[in-house]
Chains A and B, each alone.
Chain A
Amino acid sequence: MDHFQYLLLMAGCLVLTAPLELLGARVYRQPARLARAVLPVAVVFLAWDAIAIAAGVWTYNPRYITGLLLPFRIPVEELVFFLVVPVCGILTYGCVQAMLARGQSR
């Protein structure tokens, strides 16, 4: 199970933030808008990741990742991270906005 630590952490983030959609975030209901917000940013950060890995700025403990590598020796977990973290941020933003709007209209 240790090899799935990083992936399980990311899964936990998705599970924890999923209810925000029902609290008014309205993010997963706009999949195209979500993709246009998350994917370009993920590409830039993957490029940064690739450079940092090649330069030895950071390394991944083989014990806690699956070992599946993308091009440029990027662990697949990193791609998941760059998708999951912004989605969680947008869900939070959507939910906060919905709650502030509800407070205003009361």
Chain B
Amino acid sequence: MTGLGYTLPAIAAVLAVCAWELLALRTGLFRRPAYWLTMLIVLGFQIPVDGWLTKLSAPVVEYSATQVSGLRGPWDIPVEDFLFGFALVTAALLLWERQRKCDRRPAPASGRRPAERAESR
């Protein structure tokens, strides 16, 4: 195994997405509990869905043994797939979040957004 084909790009993708947010976009996504809760739920669903694609008993996708670390999780999911999935979903959430209008902060205790308050003044 060299891992060059998948392991390295998967690690690079995670680093790139984090750098994109922290250095450029600065949406604040990583400070939102909703984001981390979402990623936990996504992880929970990734296991059966990804597992269906990668299970060695009847694989839909097959990986070159020389390009992966060889570490495989439940249903033979390559550990790299979890990095790949994190980067894919986080990147889309970042672009989604970047287009958020008005309510940059979580709703205040009154349940009204700051922008709405400003409008009603």
Does B96 contact A96, Cβ atoms closer than 8 Å? no
CA gap between A100 and B103 in the complex, in Å: 14
Given A44-B91, A85-B88, A93-B93, do A59 and B62 touch, yes or no (CB 8 Å)? yes
Contact between B5 and A55 (Cβ–Cβ < 8 Å)? yes
Q: Is the interface of A mostly helix, strand, loop or mixed?
A: helix
In Å, the complex CA distance between A96 and B33 comes to 9
| Residue-wise interface mask of B (34-66) relative to A, using a CB-CB cutoff of 8 A (1 in contact, 0 not) | 110110011001000100110000111111100
Given contacts A9-B49, A104-B107, contact A86 B34 (CB under 8 A): no
Q: Is the CB of B34 within 8 A of A89?
A: no
- What is the chain B residue whose CB lies nearest that of A27? B96
Contact with A along B61-81 (1 / 0, CB 8 A): 111100100000000000000
Q: Which residues of B contact A45 (CB under 8 A)?
A: 88
Residues from 54 to 71 in A contacting B, C-beta threshold 8 Å: 55-61, 64-65
For A57, give its contact among B6, B34, B91, B109 (CB under 8 Å).
B6
- Does A50 sit within 8 A of B, measured CB to CB? no
Q: Assess the B96–A5 pair: CB atoms within 8 A.
A: no
B88 touches A86 (CB 8 A): yes
Distance from B89 Cβ to chain A, minimum over Cβ atoms (Å): 4
Contact assessment for B60 and A61 in the assembled complex, using a CB-CB cutoff below 8 Å: yes
Binding site for B on A (CB under 8 A): 5-6, 9, 13, 33-34, 36-38, 40-41, 44-45, 48, 52, 55-61, 64-65, 82, 85-86, 88-90, 92-93, 96-97, 100-101, 104-105
**B residues in contact (CB < 8 Å) with A:** 5-6, 9, 13, 32-35, 37-38, 41-42, 45, 49, 52-53, 58-64, 67, 85, 88-89, 91-93, 95-96, 99, 106-107, 109-111
A-B contact pairs, 5 of them (CB 8 A): A9-B49, A61-B60, A88-B45, A93-B34, A97-B34
